[in-house]
Structure 1
Amino acid sequence: MQEISKKSSIPWMKILFGSILLMILGLAIYLLSIFSGMKDTINAQMYQPIPSINQIQSEEKIAHGELINILFIGVNTKASNRTGSDTLIIFSLDPKTDSVSMINIPRHTRASLGSEEKEDKINRAFTYGGADLAVESIKSLLDIEIDYYIQLDLAGIAELIDGIGGLTIHNELSIEADDFQVSPGELHLSGAKALRYVEMLYQYQGEDLDQAELQQQVFETIMTKLTTSLTINKVEVIASFLGENIITNIDYDNVEQLVRNYSSVGGNISDYTLDGTEEIIDDEYYFIVPDSEIKKVQQLIVNPDTEI
């Protein structure tokens, strides 16, 4: 059983997305390796190296099983009114300590975007310069290396769930909202309803509702449906999900090394959200992160057991 330490309050739906992404990525490409021609297809559709990441250095790290930092960028390109990144999480994987540190960066964090002196909200880096500027800006903000990035269109999660026939889960709550109502018992949910259910669970959580257990239930249901009775249809669903919703600088060969050298990580999972203060600057809301907080995060990446 995984040990999950809660160093800070964080909307666990974002962590769920990130966890699903990392594990499905490795699982899917591993499964697709048995089908001829898939390697070139995956590399052509997903692989996109960027100037802000030293690709050679990153590949050397995974080859030797060293600590690596992966930036997860959650976007919603299918929403016409949203062009920035919705979610920014750094996954720090260290096979030597069997640990994963997840650092959530609030989307309104004030930061210098790339080499520009002007400061803006960190999520706008993606708007102005895509994943490359987002990576460069976070490297500058936290003064750390980013070895890989994974850009996920969050709408693809719902499509993936629909592709495997939806989710059947055991629900213990009565939820009444204008657009969503459920009663205790077994639920069969479409992709859109499953994500809405996750959102409502977060809003309804209390002392008797453990968020880690809720996360685990939904996550395990998805993974079980993907891995049980593997069929050509499921492989096609996974391939479609990857090709249409994910862009990354991790190519097929990199993923094989990632699965081989980092399969043990996850015994010690810690999550942390950057702390700071809220300020209104030039009539805009910003989240201000002090230098002392940056140092805490740097230490947490190196040592996940750090007491914050």
Structure 2
Amino acid sequence: METRKNRRKKRKSPLKKVFLTLLGILLVFIIGAGVFLGKMYFDAKGTVNQVTEPATERQYPAGKGNKDNIKAGKPFSVLLLGLDTGDLGRDEQGRSDTIMVATVNPSTKQTTLVSIARDTYTEIIGHGTTDKINHAYAFGGVSMAMDSVENLLDVPIDHYVAINMKGLKELVDAVGGIQVVNGFAFEQDGFTFNEGTISLNGEQALAFSRMRYQDAEGDYGRQKRQRQVVSGILKQAMSLSTLTTYQDILASLENNMKTDLSWDELVKISTNYRSALTTIEQENLQGEGFMQDGVSYQAISDEEMQRVRDLLKNQLK
């Protein structure tokens, strides 16, 4: 916590005792805050060390992602995976039902968040098949998912963050809930979501991000709501109000999240990229449905693919 030294004029003797009393209270507050922030620092570092898991088996193409971008203060990319496990007693490998690529640019002070439909038909790098993009994680974990998304978008994927459904729910509660702007009223999982700006707790956020059958945009409408939830969490996490609930935030991450971002990288992101994380541009890779062998997929046109590739490449300059 930063403090500013205020120059004070000399006080007359009758006020001296009052001044010393106030100074003593201030010193107690500063010391107490220092202990609190010190504990928070080491608690957070311990959690990050626990959830850190490098993507060690990447194949395509070797070294395309740049692990030094954050250290150098350059734009970087992160693959965000929402796993369909961790809730309702599910603990298998699972699939990445939510797939987003985030580019964070400190120069433009902007984060661009692009959703990829889970049914997107593409090459699964390292598996020798062409399939739904969300099968990459099921077949080969985060490394295969990173390789396959990197191949699809033709942009470097530097890092990843994977969180399961239980973690998402607990994280929303840990930051004190979020606010989103809902385009139309609907019901899902026993909750009613009115049109307009609404507040969501963890259970509600999970239900809000799951709905697709009542949406004319189908899975693309669901992707929009997923981006809203992620944006809401980021904005809440960057606010000072989360300082008092940081232990809840850490607890929600310990058993439900994995990332290859190190503690030092996260510290640099929080200090050097803070302004970029508060301005979030939301996009999606738009496809068209088709059937093959009785299975539904999403095909991406050349024009749409080029649009999104150019968007991400410009943000990584």
TM-score by length of 1: 0.69
**CA distance in 2 between partners of 1:126 and 1:292 (Å):** 27
Residue of structure 2 aligned with 1:65, choices 73, 80, 89 = 73
RMSD in angstroms over aligned alpha carbons? 4.2
Residue of structure 1 aligned with 2:236, choices 213, 223, 228 = 223
**CA distance in 2 between partners of 1:289 and 1:281 (Å):** 15
Unpaired runs of 5+ residues, structure 1, are 1-30, 206-210
Partner residue, 1:51: 57
Partner residue, 2:23: none
CA contact (8 A) 1:107 1:122 kept: yes
**CA distance in 2 between partners of 1:108 and 1:204 (Å):** 17
**CA distance in 1 between partners of 2:279 and 2:199 (Å):** 32
Residue of structure 2 aligned with 1:151, choices 144, 151, 162 = 162
Is 1:270 equivalent to 2:281 in the alignment?
yes
TM-superposed CA distance for 1:247, in Å, is 0.4
Partner residue, 1:242: 253
**CA distance in 2 between partners of 1:143 and 1:116 (Å):** 18
Matched AA of 1:292: E
Partner residue, 1:74: 82
Identical-pair percentage: 27
User: Residue deviations 1:13-69, cap 9 Å, x none?
Assistant: xxxxxxxxxxxxxxxxxx677444652442133343433287896342112222211
Unpaired runs of 5+ residues, structure 2, are 1-36, 217-223
Q: Which has the higher contact order (CA 8 A, sep 6+)?
A: 1
Partner residue, 1:142: 153
TM-superposed CA distance for 1:268, in Å, is 5.3
Question: SS in structure 2 opposite 1:137?
Answer: helix
Moved more, 273-282 or 106-115: 273-282
User: Residue deviations 1:160-200, cap 9 Å, x none?
Assistant: 3445676799999976668234789x998652134335667
Partner residue, 1:251: 262
Matched AA of 2:265: N
Distance change >3 Å, CA 173–CA 36, structure 1 → 2: same
Distance change >3 Å, CA 46–CA 240, structure 1 → 2: farther
Partner residue, 2:202: 191
**CA distance in 2 between partners of 1:170 and 1:128 (Å):** 36
Alignment: residue pair count: 265
Distance change >3 Å, CA 215–CA 72, structure 1 → 2: closer
Matched AA of 1:71: L
Distance change >3 Å, CA 249–CA 33, structure 1 → 2: farther
TM-superposed CA distance for 1:132, in Å, is 0.9
Distance change >3 Å, CA 95–CA 164, structure 1 → 2: closer
**CA distance in 1 between partners of 2:150 and 2:194 (Å):** 45
TM-superposed CA distance for 1:136, in Å, is 0.8
TM-superposed CA distance for 1:251, in Å, is 0.9
Distance change >3 Å, CA 42–CA 171, structure 1 → 2: closer
Question: SS in structure 1 opposite 2:68?
Answer: helix
CA contact (8 A) 1:95 1:261 kept: yes
Question: SS in structure 2 opposite 1:72?
Answer: strand
CA contact (8 A) 2:181 2:198 kept: yes
TM-superposed CA distance for 1:154, in Å, is 2.5
Matched AA of 1:256: V
**CA distance in 2 between partners of 1:201 and 1:118 (Å):** 28
Distance change >3 Å, CA 48–CA 96, structure 1 → 2: same
> Which has more radius of gyration?
2
Is 1:128 equivalent to 2:139 in the alignment?
yes
Partner residue, 1:91: 102
